[in-house]
Amino acid sequence: MTKKQRLFISIAGFILLTACNLATATPTLQVDLPSPTAPSLTPPGPATATQTLTPAPTLTATPFPMYFTEEFNSDLNGWETFQTGGSGSPSAQTENSFLRIDIAAPNTWYYAILNVHEYSNVTVSAKIDGNPGGSIGLVCYYNETKGWYEFNVASDGTYGVLFGQWLAEDIAQYTPIANDTTSHLEAGSLNYEIGMACQANDLLLYVDGALFRKLDVSRYGLIEGMVGITASSFDEIPMTSFFDWVRVSEK
């Protein structure tokens, strides 16, 4: 074999070996190359969208804040109603921004207590009207087990302050605290703005914005409770009472 032949064989062998190596290496490179759409990429989460949502408003359990003016533009939601005495049930309804209470039986007391807040120092007032033959009033420091205070103005021109207590269901006992006349009240009328401030052991009584009496009620022991309104019939019936508004305030 000549030198030229040996050189040709060596070159051919080198080319063949290189080709074999390239053919073997190509699949390895394909396996090791990372995929451009690798599943390890995490898509954007919903956190941003959730954070930008406006939360729904929180619904309160009662339409009444601590202090308010009730103008009776809707039903009596939030008020607990009951009666004492009488052989028939009074009816109460809101109409034309008034609370109207009709009592058909004599000697019947109707109550509506706001049962969503308790107060230790509070003033409750109301604009009232009604036909002669009964009384209309306010309640403070109402507690089902301990009792309550109420201030009533009557169509005969008198007023009364009572300490009420439950003896049994629908049966109440009333202890008179005050019963008198005042120049602020007229016989035959129930058209007034009345108010009662309950300040710990003192009751302050108002008619048409004027303070006319202050009572010490420390012996009865009530210092906090709920507020409300009341209307009652005497012997003359029917008795119809109107509340234009009721206001609960700090002073």
Nearest C-alpha neighbor of 77 from the set 94, 90, 101: 94
**CATH number for position 171:** 2.60.120.200
User: Is residue 53, in this structure, part of any structural domain at all?
Assistant: no
Number of domains in the chain: 2
Instruction: Give residue 251's pLDDT.
Output: 73
Instruction: Give residue 25's pLDDT.
Output: 42
127 and 177 inside one domain: yes
15 and 126 inside one domain: no
Identify the domain containing residue 178 by its residue range: 68-249
9 and 72 inside one domain: no
User: Is residue 51, in this structure, part of any structural domain at all?
Assistant: no
Spatial distance between the Cα atoms of 97 and 144, rounded to a whole number of angstroms: 29
User: Is residue 125, in this structure, part of any structural domain at all?
Assistant: yes
Spatial distance between the Cα atoms of 160 and 107, rounded to a whole number of angstroms: 15
157 and 203 inside one domain: yes
Instruction: Give residue 17's pLDDT.
Output: 39
132 and 81 inside one domain: yes
Question: What secondary structure, in 3-state letters, does the chain show?
Answer: CCHHHHHHHHHHHHHHHHHHHHHHHHHHHHHHCCCCCCCCCCCCCCHHHHHHCCCCCCCCCCCCCCCEEECCCCCCCCEEEEEEECCCCCEEEEECCEEEEEECCCCEEEEEEEEEEEECEEEEEEEEEECCCEEEEEEEEEECCCEEEEEEEECCCEEEEEEEEEEECCEEEEEEEEEEECCCCCCCCCCEEEEEEEECCEEEEEECCEEEEEEECHHHCCCCEEEEEEEEECCCCCEEEEEEEEEEECC
User: Is residue 44, in this structure, part of any structural domain at all?
Assistant: no
pTM, whole model, 2 decimals? 0.74
Instruction: Give residue 189's pLDDT.
Output: 95
List the pLDDT tens digit at each of the 251 positions of the chain.
444 344 344 434 443 334 434 444 444 333 333 333 333 333 333 332 222 232 333 333 456 799 999 999 888 888 999 988 888 889 999 988 999 999 999 999 999 999 999 999 999 999 999 998 899 999 999 999 999 999 999 999 999 999 999 998 778 899 999 999 999 999 999 999 999 999 999 999 999 999 999 999 999 999 999 999 999 999 989 999 999 999 999 97
Cis amide linkage into residue 238, ω under 30° from 0: yes
Instruction: Give residue 63's pLDDT.
Output: 64
Instruction: Give residue 171's pLDDT.
Output: 84
